[in-house]
Structure 1
Amino acid sequence: MSHVHPTREDPVVAALSDGVGGPMGDRAAGHRWWSPLRVVLLVTAACFALGMVQKSACVDDTWSAGQQYSHMCYSDLPFLYTDRGLAERAWPYSGDEDLRARYRVMEYPVGISYWAWGTAWVAQWADHFPGLPDLDERSGQAVETLFGTEEIRSEIWWYVVVNALGLGALALLTAWFLSRTHRRRPWDAMVFAASPVLALTALVNWDLLAVVLVAAATWAWSRDRPLLTGVLIGLGTATKLYPMLLLGAVLVICLRERRIRELGHAVAGALIAWVLANLPALLTGAEQWRVFWSFNSERGADLGSLWLVLQQATGTTITPHTINLWSWGLLGLWCLGVLVLGLRAPETPRLAQLAFLVVAGFLLVNKVYSPQYVLWLLPLAALAVPRWRDQLVWQATEVVYFASVWWYLGEYLTPAGGGDAGFYWLAIVLRVAGELYLVGIVVRDVLRPRHDTVRRAEWVAPPPPRLAG
């Protein structure tokens, strides 16, 4: 076979295949049309569609009946549509005094802000086809009343639909890149395609915008295109900050293999792409552009973080400045550890392995760990640890946390006698334990390459092609 088949390599998949005839045989011819890539894309579409169904309870009542916590169907999209001026098609980086008096500035990097603003135009055009709504009437209303008006609720429905279609396309593109990263291992992308956390978190926010760029960067690196890798990392950093950490993984590989020229190309591509992506925002509203940085700097211990557990469990308030110092210091030590690991490993670690370790460290010490942040790790985990047993252990802890965070926000976990929700602390710790489990697996594979399933596939050369006659 030209590629590694999971039923012959992964014990979990092999056991599941018994119900449909067992593992792939040596003489199996496969299917003429159903290639691994097409199957992966179909499963991705089905999984994303299930995620849309999971949000249907909130869609039916336009997120206005308080079901977003009890039914775990919360999404930031409908609320930001009115709370950030998107209902008035306001440019996110406008410095207009009247506009800024009505609406908060978007606290996201420019890539997400551009997307949110652009899809607002599309949603309004779709709802009021063939034109756009007149904004004079709504500009005179109080912001807090906009969400309940019939016209805005109709636009919110379209806004969610437009974003769901766009994010669904990005999920398919992510699966395509993952399936193409390792030529002999297209089935590794199935870890992403059939992931329960993809279905549950894909529509919570716009994180898939950065996820697809990270997947594209790993694909570009596998094709020996460091400049394109850097450009994609730069665009990803302009969308979410964490893709910048992939440059650390590139640094380790280039230092180990003395590929300084490729490192320069990757860094230059990332810097230029990031600057160009940010230019429209900087030129039209530098003050508004800086809100993302100030917001994150001034933010305290928030959902999902160990800082929140420490703060609530001890009954003390940890200042944002203290968390900033400790989180950046701990991240620096973590990255130093990844650098030493990468340089001392028996063989050069793969990009996905190093990138997973660095991003995992960032999430573990960060002051906020929102439920959709699992998407940051998902494509890297699929490439770093393409083993279903390990993936199921990790993703099970993420599913438990996903349910817990919404019940916590809905105050369903609050003890009858009052006080903090200790079960939510347990869910956070369980989630961290699941992530550390996968980190341990990656570290073991780096130190002992014989355990790395991807490395083993590279050691076994594909069979030579048959000669005609």
Structure 2
Amino acid sequence: MSALPPTDRPDVSSATSDGFVRGLSEAIGGPLGAHAVRPDAQPGRFWTAPRIVMALACLVLALSWVQKSPCMDGNWQKNVQYTRYCYTDVLALYFAEGLNEGKVPYRDHPVEYPVVTGYFMGALGLPVHSYGETHPDINQGSWFYNINALVLSILAVMSIGIILALRRRRPWDAAIFAVSPIVLVTATINWDFLAIGFFALGLYLWVKRYPAWAGVLFGLGAAAKLWPVFILGPILILALRTGRLWAFISSFLAAGVTWLLVNLPVMILWHESWLRFFRLNDERPIDWGTFWYIGRYIDSKWNSGNAGDQGPFQWLSDHVPTLNHLSYALFGLSCLAILLLGLLAPRRPRLSQLAFLVVAAFLIFSKVWSQQYVLWLLPLVVLARPKWGAVLVWTVAEIGYLAAFYAELIGAGGTAVIPEGTFVLASTFRLVTVAVLCGLVVREIWRPELDAVRETYDGRDPDAGPLDGPEHPWITGLRRFFGMGPSDEAPQRVHKDEPAAPLPAG
């Protein structure tokens, strides 16, 4: 294996620039010295940092499969799926969506997921059913889960490999993802790694300056789970700062056309089934552990002695359409705030920082926050702010929430485990830690000298792709309008004989 070019050589100091990691390194003699032989400089060395990270990822995913093993036979008696923390929608929905009866998703049963996830379920589930008909001794549910777990694990390893490729100078950042307890307990609860895989591939193509192909992948991700398309907002912000709108436009159009093409067959042939996902999300009430759930609980305690009184959150719980509008409005205002932050920051924010903020804002104000949604944030936080300390606190909050959530589900069956107030406390802790991560990312956007990734990459954004380069002069005028000084990235010509590109109209 040839040596990495100097610009891509792993920066060993990046592993110990984090205070938490530096503290742990004291147990094995402290950080690498200035004159020590770099591990990546030793010829013939097999266990390089990327290979160690990939091996750890495979180990964690194998342990995740073992952790789910008590639930694989589908014999969920005495709440084993909650007491062993092995619940998975993958197995439950094999039966609930009629795959065990050979029903074709959307044609024979209105699947509750976007079409790419439905296609994926059918592509794996229908062959299992056909095989089970000729081999009645097999457990179809177990086979379906195991095949899904294998494919989702491959997608997870691929996603971690892409993070390693995007952070060649900081390979240990990917270990935050690879060894996370979040992956251990939630990797195969649902099909979220399908969307994560599309998103990761799209981001890689974006960085390699293929914006249209990146848009195709973002569109496929949006057709599996909605959130991957949110990255188009951060891309627009960076395009406005550089005046290179065509990269955004090509990615946006490719994402939209791709989403439409993969939806069109179901949209035309089985329109009512296609609408199931949208209607379900429109009609769903306040879900467990959300911001709205916490507010409703506070309402109930505040008005417990006043018969007939309703707090605002309880009223919203009874008026779901208004709740929907308010949730969308708060998310929209959050996006507007992120837009202003992105345009007014002293230096152009990194793409992953803005993407993390958008997805986190969506989760914070959503009326639904399923336990596996935490996987959406994990790769983004690794790219946006790869500092172990805050991520570990957030991880503890997420695992604590999952434990409290399963305890609540057992209690809903008639066996009280914890008071509801304990579950609300766990939900609040999770929400607060996500909000704190957002605050830390905003702080590093506003004070880019604190950004460890920028420090490693000489002040650049390694994910900027086709938007890497000088800023457009209009940003200086905008900042002055708001009473700020010029941007830290002064406008300059890309080539000595080429004028700076004007900002396209519209």
TM-score interval (norm. to shorter): 0.7 to 0.9
Aligned to 1:3: 10
Bigger drift between 26-35 and 70-79 goes to: 26-35
Q: 1:301 aligns with which of 277, 286, 296?
A: 286
1:208 matches 2:204: no
Counterpart of 1:118, as a letter, is A
Q: Which amino acid aligns with 2:257?
A: I
Counterpart position of 1:27: 37
Tell me the TM-score normalised to structure 2 length: 0.81
Q: Does 1:110 align with 2:112?
A: no
| TM-superposition CA deviations, 1:268-287 (whole Å, max 9, x none) | 11111111221232243122
User: Structure 2 residue aligned with 1:14, among 17, 22, 38?
Assistant: 22
Residue in structure 2 matched with residue 466 of structure 1 by the alignment: none
Partner Cα distance (1:133, 1:278) in 2:
33
Alignment match, 1:467: none
Query: In structure 2, what residue type is equivalent to 1:3?
Result: P
Pairwise CA distance, 1:106: 1.0
Q: Which residue of 1 aligns with 2:407?
A: 407
- The 3 A distance-change label for structure 1 pair 427 and 294 is same
User: In 2, are the aligned partners of 1:189 and 1:382 still within 8 Å (CA)?
Assistant: yes
Q: Within 5 Å, give how 1:124-163 maps onto structure 2.
A: 124=129, 128=132, 132-133=133-134, 154-163=139-148
Counterpart for residue 381 of structure 2: 381
SS of equivalent residue, structure 2 residue 257:
helix
Q: Which residue identity does 1:191 align to in structure 2? A: I
Give me the whole-angstrom Cα distance separating, in 2, the residues matched to 1:280 and 1:40. Answer: 40
1:36–1:340 Cα change, 3 Å: same
Q: Deviations over 1:114-136 (max 9, x none)?
A: 111111134345x54xxx549xx
Residue identity opposite 1:218 in structure 2: L
Query: Which segment drifts farther, 226-235 or 181-190?
Result: 181-190
Q: Within 2, Cα distance between the matches of 1:44 and 1:197?
A: 12
For 1:403 and 1:177, the matched residues in 2 are separated by 31
User: Aligned equivalents of 1:188 and 1:412: distance in 2?
Assistant: 40
Q: For 1:59-98, list aligned pairs within 5 A.
A: 59=72, 62-94=75-107
Q: Give the superposition deviation at 1:56.
A: 2.0
Q: Does 1:54 align with 2:67?
A: yes
Q: 1:423 to 1:259 in 2, by over 3 A?
A: same
Mapped partners of 1:17, 1:89: distance in 2: 54
Structure 2 contact 189–372 (Cα < 8 Å) conserved: yes
Which of 248, 251, 254 is 1:263 aligned to? 248
8 Å CA contact 1:307–1:367 kept in 2: the answer is yes
In the other structure, the counterpart of 2:478 is: none
CA contact (8 A) 1:231 1:266 kept: yes
Asked whether the 8 Å contact 2:287–2:293 carries over to 1, the reply is yes
CA distance in 1, matches of 2:127, 2:29: 47
1:223-372 matches, within 5 Å, as 223-315=208-300, 316=314, 317-372=317-372
Give 1:415 deviation, angstroms: 9.8
1:28-43 matches, cutoff 5 A: 28-30=38-40, 32-43=45-56
The CA RMSD measured in Å over matched residues stands at 2.3
Note the alpha carbon deviations across 1:136-195, whole angstroms, 9 max, x for none. xxxxxxxxxxxxxx86x8101111110110111000011011111133222221111111
- Does the 8 Å CA contact 1:89/1:117 hold for their aligned counterparts? no
Structure 1 residues 60 and 66 mapped into 2: Cα distance closer, same or farther (>3 Å)?
same
Contact 1:10 1:388 in 2 (8 A): yes
SS at match of 2:50: helix
Q: Is the 8 A contact 1:124 1:158 kept in 2?
A: no
Could you tell me which runs of 5 or more consecutive residues in structure 2 were left unpaired when the two chains were aligned. 1-5, 301-313, 461-506
The question of whether the paired residues in 2 share the 8 Å contact of 1:210 and 1:236 is answered with yes
- The change in CA–CA distance for 1:61 and 1:324 in structure 2 (over 3 A counts) is closer
In structure 2, distance between residues paired with 1:433 and 1:157? 37
| 1:15 CA displacement | 3.0
Is the 1:220–1:228 contact (alpha carbons within 8 Å) kept by the matching residues of 2? yes
Is the 2:124–2:144 Cα contact (8 Å) retained in structure 1?
Answer: yes
Which residue of structure 1 lines up, in the alignment, with residue 3 of structure 2? none
Which deviations, in whole Å up to 9, do the C-alpha atoms of 1:315-372 show, x marking residues without a partner? 4343211210110010010000000000001111111100000000000000110110
Instruction: Return the alpha-carbon distance in structure 1 between the equivalents of residues 148 and 328 of structure 2.
Output: 33
Partner of 1:428: 427
Question: Which secondary structure does the structure 2 equivalent of 1:24 belong to?
Answer: coil
Secondary structure at the aligned position of 1:90 is classed as coil
Equivalent-residue separation in structure 2 for 1:4 and 1:49 (angstroms): 29
How far apart, CA to CA, are the structure 1 residues paired with 2:159 and 2:169?
18
1:311: Cα distance to partner? 2.5
Distance 1:413 1:9, change over 3 A: farther
Checking the alignment, whether the CA contact within 8 Å between 2:331 and 2:362 is kept in structure 1 is yes
Partners of 1:301 and 1:318 within 8 A in 2:
no
- Give the aligned residue type for 1:345: A
Q: CA separation in 2, counterparts of 1:34 and 1:86?
A: 43
- Residues 74 and 141, structure 2, Cα contact 8 Å, conserved in 1: no
Deviation by residue 1:23-69 (Cα, 9 ceiling, x = unmatched):
33442344622232222211111111121122122225643442111
Find the aligned partners of 2:333 and 2:202 in 1 and give their Cα distance: 25
Secondary structure at the aligned position of 2:270 is classed as: helix
Is the CA contact (8 Å cut-off) linking 2:352 and 2:383 kept in structure 1? yes
Taking the aligned partners of 2:171 and 2:265, their CA distance within structure 1 comes to 38
Could you say what secondary structure the match of 1:247 adopts? helix
Give the unaligned 5+ runs of structure 1. 135-149, 462-469
Tell whether the 8 Å contact from 2:73 to 2:141 is kept in structure 1 after alignment. no
Q: CA deviation at 1:303?
A: 1.8
Q: How many residue pairs are counted as aligned between the two chains?
A: 432
CA contact (8 A) 2:289 2:427 kept: yes
Superposed displacement of residue 212, structure 1: 1.5
Question: 1:420 and 1:368, CA in 2 relative to 1: closer, same or farther beyond 3 A?
Answer: farther
